[in-house]
Chain A
Amino acid sequence: MGDSEVTVKSKKTVFVTVGTTCFDALVKVVDTQEVKEELSRRGYNELLIQMGRGSYIPQSNVIGEGMINLMGRDSKGGDESIAVDYFTFSSSIADHLRAASLVISHAGSGSIFETLRLGKPLIVVTLKQIISDVKVESLIPYHPGDATPVAKLINRFLGFSED
């Protein structure tokens, strides 16, 4: 599987995620030659895009198990050495976040907090139209949280012992 490939090789992956939204603008931007060249200059050699409900398909140059399509690279003619791959949805986003060296997120709370918990560098790009609606309202220094106090209160309420 592609996942194991990521962990086996010493890859530096940029993982772009848009969650369950449609955020073509972000996918388009990271798919530009400029961004890819800059990422590759900074030592990243893989760009993995989770494109969600978007309709813009990035130019993948990866065939099968993480192999770089040499033809695709030649046709662009550059010194581009970043492998680009994409998918729509995955039930194991956490694995992709864990395997990544840099995360670019659509400002969904799930990907933000998961990335912060992993202590990985994170770039957040907001989709202005929906930010007031469901997105994180403001960003504040992060300390990992703990759900056990809430679990304790729920247990106490229901008459269970608290441990």
Chain B
Amino acid sequence: MAWNVTITTVIISVMLILIRLLYVLHQTGKPLKTRGLARGPRSTLIILGSGGHTAEMLNLLSVLQKDRFSPRFYIAAATDNMSLQKARLFEETEDKMEETSRSQFMQIYRSREVGQSYITSVLTTIIAVVHALLLMLRIRPQVILCNGPGTCVPLCVIAFLFKAVGIRWSSVFYVESIARVQRLSLSGLLLYKLRIADQFFVQWPQLQRKYPRAHYVGCLM
């Protein structure tokens, strides 16, 4: 008798989890206004890649209204010293007429460096995931802006889990790099196929034809 109850409980909870996941997947990609959130600034997580990725991201930020996307949290790989410096410079020049900036800048461990052995990368991946989880619990962003490379995938997956669990509903925007003309990058492909990105932008029409859920509204650069 008790055995039956346990089995039923397990089955019901698995079903409930599945229903919740399907609901979250269904809601992902739907515009936010139906959810009745208050109009106000949205805490925004900006994931910086490196080099060209960072340049493209800052280019997008320069046309977004700063008062709507605030406070802003910047995350870059711990091995990438330049990106956060560029973001600081960007915030300082943007902030001249505004009150003191509430922006924060953080570094995140990467799961694997180029050329690192696979055995040690198991450990570093665990560390990176835990670190990503801690950062995300602290930030709990409402908006995530990312454009690859790899660093953004674990953060976006955690954001999806936060949606499912009910910690925070966030909107993920992914902009594929202008360097991607024929094929998506691995990060882009994952976020597209897993339907984690609410809106997915590509910068070349031939990519949009291959990936119809993506948006193409011209190059950003």
Contacts and interface: CB of A to CB of B under 8 A. Distances in A.
A, B co-complexed: yes
B181 A158 contact: no
Interface size class of B (residues with CB under 8 A): 35 or more
B112 to A, nearest CB: 14
Please give me the 9 A-B residue pairs with the lowest Cβ-Cβ distance, nearest first.
A145-B219, A109-B52, A110-B52, A149-B217, A159-B33, A110-B55, A109-B179, A147-B220, A113-B221
Consensus secondary structure, chain A interface? loop
A114 B89 CA distance: 17
B134 interface: no
A137 interface: yes
Interface size class of A (residues with CB under 8 A): 35 or more
Nearest to A114: B55
Interface in A123-163: 134-138, 140, 143-151, 153-160
Contacts of B217: 149-150, 153
Most chain B CB atoms below 10 A, which of A113, A114, A154: A154
B221 A157 contact: no
Interface string B165-181: 00000010101011111
Given A20-B50, A109-B179, A159-B37, A153 B68 contact: no
Interface string A10-27: 000000000110000000
A75 interface: no
B175 A150 contact: yes
A145 to B, nearest CB: 3
A110 to B, nearest CB: 4
B220 A145 contact: yes
A149 B179 contact: no
Most chain A CB atoms below 10 A, which of B31, B33, B59: B59
B60 A147 contact: yes
Contacts of B65: 155, 160
A136 B179 contact: yes
B215 interface: yes
A147 B59 contact: yes
B203 interface: yes
